Amino acid sequence: MRTQVAIVGAGPAGLLLSHLLARRGVDSVVVEARSRSYVEHRVRAGVLEHPTVELLRAEGVGARMDAHGMPHEGISLLFDDTLHHIDFADLVGRGIVVYGQQEVVKDLIAARLRDGGTIEFEAADVALHGLTTDRPSVSFTDVAGITREIECDVVAGCDGFHGPSRQAFAPTVVERAYPFGWLGVLAEAAPTHEELVYAAADRGFALYSMRSPQVTRLYLQVPADEDVAAWSDARIWDELGTRLGGMALNEGPFLEKPSITGMRSMVAEPMRHGRLFLAGDAAHIVPPTGAKGMNLAVADVAVLADALEHFFHRGSDRGLDEYSATCLRRVWRAEHFSSYMTEMLHRFDPGTERGDAFGRALQLSQLRYTVSSRAAATSLAENYTGLPHGGIA
């Protein structure tokens, strides 16, 4: 095969990049290790920032999001036994849309196949070659067991932290692991609150969220090494009720087995190696508290698509040369905001500096300031609803 851009990974980053390139007259082929069914049903993030929503609409893949997504004009912070509303619409004039990552993936796959795009699902033994030359390539074994190679001009690594793209060179990696995780459940139960609720309870953090008018998404802070088997359905609902301060909850059957997600931050610099460009989780990971993971991936490929358009149609390297630095400015802003939200809302071990009485008092002070100061609330709203793609100083 011969194409202009070989894209490794068919998550939101890889699929959206392929779609954006096609609309700019640039050919691409997407290679994905998993099956189409797997990637279309992989439940991940559900909050779309305002710039993400606007981009999907502008690029012709927002119709189903507009029909079925759930627009929100704010969030609530629950502490001191009181629900405090952060009004995004009033503070910054924009909001978010709750629409599952798997739904975005379905929309993008449908668009690429409708437009004649090539997605190679169930590709095994994916390997990258010649990345420091002007003729890199990607090899893989297809679903029929045949070894194939894609010759290209550029490789986009959109295959996550464990994929071959990030491992193809040695970027500088900085990371931070938190001593807790999120136990997440997806319940067949109608939401009882119109917006996300972030609860900073004495027993630990809880998040009340939703995926549709019929499905609720809920999380509990647990120790990083917690055994999920120790949590029965009844215990999960009881703990949610306690941490959410008696807020009314509709209980329903879980649509998937409860699972625990670790909390960590990671940034790989630079996001470029020769003709390889990293995007999304291959280059950075954020704790989910700030709802930034998928949105950062979208921001990366929005910048990369414009740079590649200039490269192929105008012969300009400038956008590609500036790609890593441009994206990393937004990445580090999102890392800071995600860390801020995580450390403000979660309980740390009482035996640690951040978990002692002094640390807890600082958390509560920050929460009270955030909900009582318009300037502090505006900063939270501005970061949560999303900063411009590529426009961070």
Best CA proximity match to 265, nearest among 173, 141, 172: 173
Which sequence positions are flagged as catalytic? 72, 198, 288, 292, 384
SS (H, E, C) 261-309: EEEEEEEEECCEECCEEECHHHCEECCHHHCCHHHHHHHHHHHHHHHHH
Other CB atoms within a 10 A radius of the CB of residue 63 amount to: 11
Helix/strand/coil for 79: strand
Q: How far apart are the first and last CA of the chain?
A: 40
> Cα–Cα distance between 339 and 332 in angstroms, integer?
10
Where on the phi/psi map is residue 60: left (φ > 0), alpha (ψ -120 to 50), or beta? left
Residue 227 and residue 218 in contact, taking contact as beta carbons nearer than 8 Å: no
Instruction: Tell me phi and psi for residue 297, to 5 degrees.
Output: -60, -45
DSSP string, 226-246: --GGG--HHHHHHHHHHHTTT
Longest dimension (CA), the chain: 62
Q: Between the CA atoms of 302, 307, 313 and 316, what dihedral angle is there, to the nearest 10 degrees?
A: 170
